[in-house]
Amino acid sequence: MENDLEKMKKTMPYTVPDGFFDMMEEHLMQETVAKKEKSNLRKIALWTGLAVAASLALLMVLRQGLFQTEESSFEQVEIAFTQLSDTDQELMFDYYDEIEYLDNY
Amino acid sequence: MPTDQEIIAAMKEDPQKGFGLLMASYMKPVYWHIRRMVVAHADAQDVMQETFVRVFRSFNQYKENQPLNAWIFGIAINEALRFLGKRKGKDILSLEDTSEDLFNLKADDYVDYSDIEAVKLQKAILSLPAKQQIAFNLRYYDELSYDDIASITRSTAANVKANYHNAKDKIVNYLKSND
């Protein structure tokens, strides 16, 4: 055995599976950049949902103040919800999902 | 290969492109450095993933007065020490500790046992305290300067040089006694 390290070849006994580095690069992109983009989209959805919810709440208060209806507050929410467009309803569900998601952290 | 300045600029302007450049430059050297510390391929893969996720998420904390390679290798070494520490029931492996008792090449599929000289050299390296292993590997395999290694290990160039030469002497003795 040649004990002079400078003369020894700097090889290692370690190997990796074929295509390992390409696979890792793709995987790490998904774990970082793609997740961040997804998280940004969720943030936008959250803030949009909050804006819709705030508008809805304001609408309810105004409606109650102006017309003094006999309906319960839950019925009022239901009615108001059905009057939203499909997109806005979806945003409300997304918002609800987001709250649930955040509650898990 | 992109320069560190190009990587840093790209990370700020377009993280997807920047991170692609960063991985193109650093994935292999970082993986091999981690692999020499943790030995098993699957473990090196896990530690490397933790390292690059951390690099991406904390890039806004990177200070440009520090060389990029020092920052990235610093994170990788920390993750490897944390991994090795956990295997010993600690939060992190001390730089004075060795990982020799954890060495188990037989358990890993991705080791060429026929390269007896290379296996013996790795065993010799793994018999060293972590701080000497790190100094030796970064100098011998990655051919970094003592200053760069000092920046990675938050030490002084003189200290690193001493660790490297101590490591080299111990390795030569190990190889002689195991001939």
Enumerate residues 6+ apart whose C-beta is below 8 A from A79.
A71
- In this prediction, residues A69-93 reach a mean pLDDT of 72
Query: For residue B18, what pLDDT is reported?
Result: 96
Tell me which chain A residues have a C-beta less than 8 angstroms from the C-beta of B175.
Answer: 1, 3
**By mean pLDDT, which of A5-9, B12-16, B81-85, B124-128 is the weakest?**
A5-9
Tell me which chain B residues have a C-beta less than 8 angstroms from the C-beta of A32.
Answer: 19, 52-53, 56-57
Instruction: Check if B53 contacts A (Cβ < 8 Å).
Output: yes
Q: How far is B128 from chain A (nearest CA, A)?
A: 16
Say how many domains are in chain A.
Answer: 1
Q: What percent of chain A has pLDDT over 90?
A: 16
Cβ <8 Å between B27 and A21: yes
Please choose, from the candidates B67, B41, B24, the residue with its C-alpha nearest in 3D space to the C-alpha of residue B153. Answer: B67
Instruction: Please check whether residue B95 is in contact with residue B52, taking contact to mean a CB–CB distance below 8 angstroms.
Output: no
**Residue A25 in domain:** no
Cβ <8 Å between B115 and A24: no
Question: Tell me: the pLDDT tens digits for A57-68?
Answer: 888 777 776 665
Cβ <8 Å between A33 and B120: no
**Residue A6 in domain:** no
**Residue A29 in domain:** no
Q: What is the largest CA-CA distance in chain A?
A: 96
Question: Tell me: the pLDDT tens digits for B63-98?
Answer: 988 899 999 999 999 999 999 998 878 888 888 777
Say if residue B21's pLDDT is above 90.
yes
Parse chain B into domains and list their residue ranges: 4-177
The rounded distance, in Å, linking the Cα atoms of A103 and A85 is 27
**Residue A26 in domain:** no
The rounded distance, in Å, linking the Cα atoms of B176 and A77 is 83
Tell me which chain A residues have a C-beta less than 8 angstroms from the C-beta of B31.
Answer: 16, 21, 24
Query: For residue B81, what pLDDT is reported?
Result: 94
Query: For residue B49, what pLDDT is reported?
Result: 97
Query: For residue A2, what pLDDT is reported?
Result: 44
Question: Tell me: the pLDDT tens digits for B115-153?
Answer: 888 888 998 999 999 999 999 999 999 999 999 999 999
Cβ <8 Å between A21 and B31: yes
- In this prediction, residues B26-54 reach a mean pLDDT of 95
Query: For residue A5, what pLDDT is reported?
Result: 77
**Residue A79 in domain:** yes
Q: Hey, what CATH class is B4-177 in?
A: mainly alpha
Instruction: Check if B41 contacts A (Cβ < 8 Å).
Output: yes
Instruction: Please check whether residue B164 is in contact with residue B139, taking contact to mean a CB–CB distance below 8 angstroms.
Output: yes
Query: For residue B67, what pLDDT is reported?
Result: 92
- In which domain, by residue range, is A52 found? 35-103
Tell me which chain A residues have a C-beta less than 8 angstroms from the C-beta of B168.
Answer: 5
How confident is residue A105, by pLDDT bands cut at 50, 70 and 90? Answer: very low
Q: How far is A85 from chain B (nearest CA, A)?
A: 35
The rounded distance, in Å, linking the Cα atoms of B88 and B74 is 21
- In this prediction, residues B16-41 reach a mean pLDDT of 95
Q: Give just the sign of the alpha carbon dihedral A85, A88, A92, A97.
A: positive
Tell me which chain A residues have a C-beta less than 8 angstroms from the C-beta of B59.
Answer: none
* Long-range pairs of A29-37 with CB within 8 A, sequence gap ≥ 24: A29/B16, A29/B19, A29/B20, A31/B49, A31/B53, A32/B19, A32/B52, A32/B53, A32/B56, A32/B57, A33/B15, A33/B16, A33/B19, A33/B56, A36/B15, A36/B56
Top-confidence range, A35-39, B84-88, B105-109: B84-88
